[in-house]
């Protein structure tokens, strides 16, 4: 009888209630300061990182192949026969490659399906939750794997940042353009490119217009039918709550989660980020 493990990485920011409910295995990224290393979301909090980000901008380190191998050893010892891995986009991190290399060493002991989500944070979490439901319902491994690309197609994500400084410093700028926009107070509305990197969707003038654009984009999706909504931020808590209060009132909103991006994400985006993702039913 098959036993399926569900795996993601710490950038997903999946709340503990879902980690426990669906027995999700998390491989953590590391936060690296001059004074030492921390484990993303374990022994350092998002608020701790964001409160001193002006003093020192740490770097991040993706899970190593050995980290992934250690998890595979644990899964095999617990009787798992299959693994589904849903990491952060390959366009933003090499995490997926650590799993690919590790899985090759264990392919005679455990069958892996490693899917490039080409998205990040709790937008990945939406997919993880749906896969967790299927595993708990006893769905066949092949059936679940076939369903995952369709789940991803149903997720749209948009976000805005106050400054492109952190995306530039972190090398995650992708196809997002800045330049004179900083001087003109133009705010980018960013989405995911086909290769899983960031790309400009639109530019608007000022933070208020950026907020309104996120509302409009999410509302247009919900107007088409029922959907699950995710809102994430670093330190823009008031704006996130305001966005939540608007979208949760939409008649087609069937799930709402408002949370904080993990340090490993915020270091590269900057804490002044506001994101919305919608998974269409």
CATH of the domain at 276: 3.30.1180.10
Is 196 in the same domain as 259?
Answer: yes
Residue 54: CB atoms within 10 A of its CB come to: 8
| 166 and 130 in a common domain | no
Considering the domain boundaries, does residue 57 fall inside one?
no
Region of residue 187 (phi > 0: left; psi between -120 and 50: alpha; otherwise: beta): beta
Same domain? 146 vs 164: no
Q: Domain holding 77: CATH number?
A: 3.40.50.10440
Q: Which of 103, 120, 153 is the last residue of a domain?
A: 153
Quick check: 164 pLDDT over 90? Answer: no
Q: What percent of the chain has pLDDT over 70?
A: 95
Are 146 and 96 in a shared domain?
yes
pLDDT in tens, 249-278: 999 999 999 999 999 999 988 899 999 999
Specify whether 172 is located in the same domain as 142: no
Is residue 44 included in any domain, yes or no? no
200 and 243 housed in the same domain: yes
Whether residues 195 and 175 share a domain: the answer is yes
How far is residue 41 from each of residues 23, 29, 44, 268, measured CA to CA in Å? 17, 9, 6, 15
For position 18, what pLDDT does the model report? Answer: 97
pLDDT of residue 169: 76
Instruction: Assess whether 179 and 265 both reside in one domain.
Output: yes
Question: Is the residue at 138 inside a domain?
Answer: yes
Question: Helices (DSSP H) in the chain: which residue ranges?
Answer: 16-21, 46-51, 65-77, 95-105, 122-136, 141-153, 165-169, 207-224, 237-247, 263-269
Report the pLDDT value the prediction gives residue 174, as an integer from 0 to 100: 63
Of residues 146 and 187, which shows the higher confidence score? Answer: 146
Question: Per mean pLDDT, which range of 31-40, 63-72, 159-168, 178-187 is the poorest?
Answer: 178-187
Task: Note the pLDDT of residue 265.
Answer: 92
Residue that terminates a domain, selected from 126, 153, 180: 153
Residue that finishes a domain, picked among 153, 182, 217: 153
Is the model more confident about 266 or about 239? 239
Res 173 pLDDT > 80: no
Q: Model pTM? A: 0.94
Note the pLDDT of residue 170.
65
Shared domain check, 223 and 130: no
The pLDDT tens digits for 81-105 are: 999 999 999 999 999 999 999 999 9
Specify whether 255 is located in the same domain as 170: yes
- The mean predicted confidence, pLDDT, of the chain is 93
Q: Is residue 214 part of a domain?
A: yes
Residue 116 forms part of a structural domain: yes
Residue 39 lies in a domain: no
Buried b (16+ CB within 10 A) or exposed e, 78-113: eebebbbbbbbbbbbbebbebbbebbeebeeebbbb
Q: Is the pLDDT of residue 178 over 70?
A: no
Range of the domain at 91: 4-28+63-153
Question: Is there a domain that residue 270 lies in?
Answer: yes
Number of domains in the chain: 2
139 plus 210 within the same structural domain: no
36 within a domain of the structure (yes/no): no
pLDDT at 180: 46
CB atoms near residue 233 (< 10 Å)? 24
Q: Do 11 and 109 lie in a common domain? A: yes
């Amino acid at each position: 009888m098959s036993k399926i493990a569900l795996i993601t990485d710490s950038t997903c920011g999946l709340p503990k209630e879902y980690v426990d409910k669906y027995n999700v295995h998390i491989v953590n990224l590391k936060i690296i300061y001059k004074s030492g290393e921390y484990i993303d979301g374990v022994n350092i909090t998002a608020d701790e990182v964001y409160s001193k980000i002006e003093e020192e901008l740490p770097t991040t380190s993706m899970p190593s192949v050995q980290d992934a191998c250690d998890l595979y050893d644990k899964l095999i010892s617990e009787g798992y026969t299959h693994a589904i891995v849903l990491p952060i986009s390959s366009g933003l991190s090499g995490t997926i490659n650590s799993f690919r290399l590790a899985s090759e060493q264990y392919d005679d002991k455990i069958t892996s399906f490693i899917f490039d989500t080409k998205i990040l944070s709790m937008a990945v979490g939406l997919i993880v939750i749906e896969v967790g439901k299927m595993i708990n319902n006893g769905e066949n491994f092949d059936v679940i794997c076939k369903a995952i690309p369709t789940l991803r197609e149903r997720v749209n994500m948009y976000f805005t940042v106050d400054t492109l400084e952190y995306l530039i410093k972190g090398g995650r700028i992708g196809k997002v353009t800045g330049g004179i926009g900083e001087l003109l107070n133009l705010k980018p509305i960013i989405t995911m490119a086909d290769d899983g990197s960031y790309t400009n969707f639109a530019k608007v003038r000022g933070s208020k217009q950026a907020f309104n654009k996120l509302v409009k984009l999410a509302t247009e999706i919900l107007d088409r039918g029922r959907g699950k909504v995710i809102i994430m931020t670093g330190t823009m808590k008031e704006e996130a709550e305001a966005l939540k209060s608007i979208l949760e009132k939409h008649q087609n909103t069937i799930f709402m989660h408002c949370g904080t991006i993990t340090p490993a994400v915020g270091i590269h985006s900057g804490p002044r980020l506001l994101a919305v993702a919608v998974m269409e039913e």
